[in-house]
Amino acid sequence: MSQSPEQWQAWLAEQLSSAAVVTDDALYEHERLEAVARLRADELEHVEPLVDDLLAAGAAGVGAPVALFNVVLTGAQLIAGEHGLTGWMAEARATPAEWAPCAQVVRSGAQYVVPDLSADEATRHSPLTVVDGFRAYAGVPVRTSDGAVVGSVCVLDTAPRTFTQVDLDRLRAVAAQAVQRLEAAADQD
Amino acid sequence: MPLTGAEVRGLAAPTVVDWLREIAGVVGPQQALLTWSRAAAATGLHGTALTAEELQRVGQWLLGDSTDPRLRIAVRSCLLRTRVHRALQGTTHEERQ
């Protein structure tokens, strides 16, 4: 379609005025996004070296094939650290927020455990379940010292399973160490 | 013809309007419009149907231009969604994680 800049601007304004703009989603909260920015948590190259070793230990401790450090932005989450990831997720290092159980962790500020993703109403239709074959999830908040929840440390398994309190404590320890490293790095910037 | 990974997951290619909605969710509709108009003028990408590569160019310009950390995060988020779609377009539904 060929348009002049003026025509294009008019079209743009019309589109935006009729578009549903998100206003009440916790993912869009200003203080939270400012915390993400302050920690540079949205920069893969910055975060990955700080957290990858923690995730390998976390996955081994919980006995799960995949462990992730996900930073939830607005419409997408950045997979800022990973252990055991392959395929398109390893290539893209992101998923849409609407597919991500970690977005639920951020919205609620609480741990989220799904022993069988295919049996849970909130996750049974997610492409990560239906297409990618993930079957179990456990995630805990990544919370800054100011209280902002910037993301989640989670594990995924390809078979239904339960997670013990010890498993969740291990994930919480990984999240706490990761935040400590990110905040120390931010203090040095 | 096998479905692509994006098709089987019901993920449509991000559009200019999708980007604007996401940015507007952070900085408000008017600021989003002003910001996008400035980016379009700077990059020469005034179209209503930008390709993924063109959206990426606009996104990179916005990251370089903006000093608003929240806006930059929304732009990074848009870039990630575009990257996910592109990665999934390169797979078929037989390929699994």
Tens-place pLDDT, residues A84-141? 999 999 999 999 999 999 999 999 999 999 999 999 999 999 999 999 999 999 999 9
Check pLDDT > 50 for residue A1: no
C-alpha A171 chain-centroid distance: 14
3-class SS at B27?
helix
CA atoms within 13 Å, Cβ hemisphere of A64: 35
Q: Is A10 on the interface with B (CB under 8 A)?
A: no
Question: How far, in Å, CA of B87 to CA of A126, rounded?
Answer: 18
pTM metric for this prediction: 0.92
Residue (of A173, A100, A175, A171) closest to A132 by Cα position:
A100
Which CATH number applies to A5-188? 3.30.450.40
ipTM: 0.91
Question: What's phi and psi for A172, nearest 5 deg?
Answer: -65, -35
How many angstroms separate the CA atoms of A75 and B81, rounded? 7
* Residue B93 with chain A: CB contacts under 8 Å: 131
Contact B37 A12 (CB under 8 A): yes
Could you say which of B9, B48, B87 has the minimum Cβ distance to residue A8?
B48
Looking at the partner chain, which of B21, B84, B96 has a beta carbon nearest the beta carbon of A21?
B21
Any idea what DSSP says for residue A84? S
